[in-house]
């Protein structure tokens, strides 16, 4: 199966159209950056782009394991889920940073859109599953990912973007304009890990 995929260039299939990033006005980026980093050019040998099918082989799931439980997800399961996400129009914007010198995914964040009837039948966005690999901390890559996805959510016409975060990250997210709703509680039931 693997070899067939590679021969067909199937590996290069994007989860979403990379051109949506070009619709972002760079002057809208919210954060300050040092060392010529910008969300669209995060550094030497670092490429930011939509998730691709081939990222299974570039350590995408291993990176997610630095964030939470992933479990044993086979390549077939990965492909199935990728294709289901891709079939949902205007919904899954999983973005990755690849260190092209190592063919390795070293950062990722997800923008997911929920279609609504409220708010003029537009959509709400959420930022989920933000992680930068341990060896790549301190390079402003978390800022790069969040800044890009906040701007993308606005470009895509969402009426709001939200996220859940631990107390020690509140200041980080405030940088982009996120505000705590003092009266809004986050509640959950967990069925399994």
Residue 22 lies near a second copy (rule: CB under 8 A):
no
The sign of the torsion formed by the CA atoms of 171, 172, 174, 180 equals negative
Beta bridge partners of 97: 48, 107
Given a contact cutoff of 8 angstroms between Cβ atoms, the answer to whether 13 and 83 are in contact is: no
Q: Give the residue with the Cβ less far from a second copy, 4 or 192.
A: 192
Q: What is the CA radius of gyration of the chain?
A: 17
Write out the H or E segment, with its range, that includes residue 95.
Answer: strand 92-99
Residue given tokens 């859940």 in the structure block? 164
Stretch of 1-9, 41-49, 95-103, 150-158 contacting a second copy, by CB under 8 A: 150-158
Question: Residue 10 in contact with residue 57, Cβ under 8 Å?
Answer: no
Q: Is residue 29 part of the contact set for a second copy (CB under 8 A)?
A: no
> Interface with a second copy includes 138 (CB under 8 A)?
no
Among 10, 14, 18, 170, binds a second copy (CB under 8 A): 170
119 binds a second copy (CB under 8 A): yes
Which residues bind to a second copy, rule: CB under 8 A? 60-61, 64, 67-73, 77-78, 80-81, 84-85, 87-92, 112, 114-121, 126, 128-129, 150, 153-154, 158-167, 170, 173-174, 176-181, 183-193
């Amino acid at each position: 199966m693997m070899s067939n995929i590679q021969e067909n260039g199937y590996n290069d299939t994007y989860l979403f159209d990379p051109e949506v990033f070009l619709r972002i006005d760079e002057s809208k980026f919210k954060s300050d950056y040092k060392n010529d980093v910008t969300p669209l050019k995060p550094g030497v040998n670092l490429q930011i782009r939509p998730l691709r099918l081939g990222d299974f082989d570039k350590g995408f799931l291993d990176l997610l394991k630095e964030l939470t439980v992933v479990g044993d997800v086979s390549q077939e399961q990965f492909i199935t889920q990728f294709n289901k996400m891709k079939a949902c129009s205007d919904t899954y914007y999983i973005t990755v940073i690849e260190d092209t010198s190592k063919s390795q995914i070293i950062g990722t964040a997800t923008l997911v859109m929920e279609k609504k009837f409220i708010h003029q039948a537009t959509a709400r966005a959420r930022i989920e599953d933000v992680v930068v690999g341990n060896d790549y901390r301190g390079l402003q890559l978390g800022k790069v990912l969040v800044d890009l996805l906040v701007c993308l959510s606005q470009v895509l016409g969402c009426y709001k973007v939200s996220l859940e975060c631990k107390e020690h990250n509140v200041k980080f997210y405030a940088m982009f304009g996120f505000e705590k709703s003092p009266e809004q509680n986050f509640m959950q039931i967990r069925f399994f890990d």
